[in-house]
Amino acid sequence: MTREMGKVLEEARGDVQEAIDMTFFMAGEGRRMYGQTVPSELRDKFAMSVRQPLGVCGIITPWNFPMAIPSWKIVPALVCGNTVVFKPSSLTPLSAVNFVKVLEEAGIPRGVVNMVTGGPDVGTVLSSHEAIKVISFTGSTTVGRLVNQNAAPGFKKVHLEMGGKNIVMVMDDAHLELAVEGCVWGGFGTTGQRCTAASRVVVHERVYDAFLAEFTRRVKALRVGDGLKDGVHMGPSISESQLATVAKYVEIGKQEGARLVTGGSRLVSGDYARGWFHEPTIFADVTPQMRIAREEIFGPVVSVMRCRSLEEAVDIGNDVTYGLSASIYTRDVNRAFTAMRDLYTGIFYVNAPTIGAEVHLPFGGTKATGNGHREAGIAALDVFSEWKSIYIDFSGRLQRAQIDTEEL
């Protein structure tokens, strides 16, 4: 995985571990495919609900978590009794091949999990083919909209997990060293190539200068390079085009008047010339209306903003098109619960960065991040199954539901 997409080896191991964790969790859910049993309106009648499989599931996954994300989709699909056609990113096919090989070794029957490689044309076929009953997609909002449009004529169930522009709010009572550590990991882990990356940091004006100085010091100390080597903290961008996107937004930030504190350039000398490496970059004195504070960059660029209160920080956090993840650093439990309530996101953290979701809770977001479904946790079962309500009449005569209830 590190050779294929660049994340440092420690993170790649975490990616694999997450796939293991998800598989263990979902395997247990196979014994807990709970429905409901409820009293009927009529005496001699039994009422219950059960889950039923959908059929063939189309799975389209991105390159940034090439084993974890497929596990979030494929394993619950199988546990619910479906078959799968899996299209991984064309940038990380080898990780996907290895994932499917593990499923084969585990005894998944031939034809139950099917992997196809290719680009957008293959995704179009999957999202529009009549045999596919549900399509689960993780990727950009632009492509997700196309997937949704392709699937709509066939009335397919569609699950979309798309972009994010996540915020960390650092209050004036925060443990600053902890907040800095979280923002470094949240902003520059996986080279910022996470939908949950902490690409925005809003800091209370009373601690803004102190936070920015320490954050800058820590980011300058990050070592960029080959993820297979010890001591490397951040790898390359996934591709030349992604690096170009990062460079474009750095220029946009400069033109908008944000203050470039550190980074801002591609790394090209020595071994860096052989890959798509970019310096970890911080912009300070960013305003909420700047593009670098509103649009997903998917790279090692973090925008730092000021606020005067929790209320202002929450307003800044909510004022983007996405609603995936948010975080607050504070020692005040009242502030923590207020922020927890008022941030309109699918995920929220207290005294931790915007990354670090666990497999047993729902994962996904609001607004342009998704379309209302969730993956991970038992919420994933709702994507890959349908409910069937069952009524068993053992009266031996016609009972007319609500009409005959007066006879009871």
**Residue 401 forms part of a structural domain:** no
Cβ contact 298:321 at 8 Å:
no
Alpha-carbon span 125 to 266, nearest angstrom: 37
pTM above 0.75, yes or no: yes
Q: Which of 57, 80, 195, 307 is catalytic?
A: 195
User: Are 264 and 336 members of one domain?
Assistant: yes
Q: What is the CA 92 to chain-centroid distance, rounded? A: 17
What pLDDT, on the 0 to 100 scale, is given for residue 401?
82
Tokens 């293991």 -> residue: 20
User: Are 156 and 266 members of one domain?
Assistant: no
Cβ contact 161:148 at 8 Å:
no
User: Are 110 and 72 members of one domain?
Assistant: yes
Alpha-carbon span 73 to 69, nearest angstrom: 7
**Residue 97 forms part of a structural domain:** yes
The per-residue pLDDT for range 212-251, each reduced to its tens digit, is 999 999 999 999 999 999 999 999 999 999 999 999 999 9
**Residue 389 forms part of a structural domain:** no
The per-residue pLDDT for range 277-308, each reduced to its tens digit, is 999 999 999 999 999 999 999 999 999 999 99
Cβ contact 77:384 at 8 Å:
yes
**Residue 341 forms part of a structural domain:** yes
User: Are 63 and 209 members of one domain?
Assistant: no
- Could you tell me the residue range of the domain that residue 303 belongs to? 167-350
User: Are 278 and 157 members of one domain?
Assistant: no
**Residue 200 forms part of a structural domain:** yes
**Residue 390 forms part of a structural domain:** no
What pLDDT, on the 0 to 100 scale, is given for residue 400?
87
User: Are 119 and 98 members of one domain?
Assistant: yes
Average pLDDT, the chain: 95
Our answer to whether residue 130 is catalytic in this structure is no
CATH number at residue 26: 3.40.605.10
Domain count, the chain: 2
User: Are 252 and 117 members of one domain?
Assistant: no
Our answer to whether residue 57 is catalytic in this structure is no
User: Are 115 and 178 members of one domain?
Assistant: no
**Residue 16 forms part of a structural domain:** yes
What pLDDT, on the 0 to 100 scale, is given for residue 247?
97
The per-residue pLDDT for range 339-375, each reduced to its tens digit, is 999 999 999 999 999 999 999 999 999 999 999 999 9
User: Are 192 and 270 members of one domain?
Assistant: yes
User: Are 240 and 117 members of one domain?
Assistant: no
**Residue 271 forms part of a structural domain:** yes
The per-residue pLDDT for range 134-191, each reduced to its tens digit, is 999 999 999 999 999 999 999 999 999 999 999 999 999 999 999 999 999 999 999 9
Q: Which of 245, 232, 243 is nearest to 275 (CA)?
A: 243
Alpha-carbon span 6 to 147, nearest angstrom: 27
User: Are 238 and 378 members of one domain?
Assistant: no
Alpha-carbon span 217 to 318, nearest angstrom: 29
User: Are 199 and 137 members of one domain?
Assistant: no
Q: Which of 18, 161, 296, 375 is catalytic?
A: 161
- Which string of b and e fits 146-156 if b means at least 16 CB within 10 Å? bbbebbeeeeb
Alpha-carbon span 126 to 324, nearest angstrom: 26
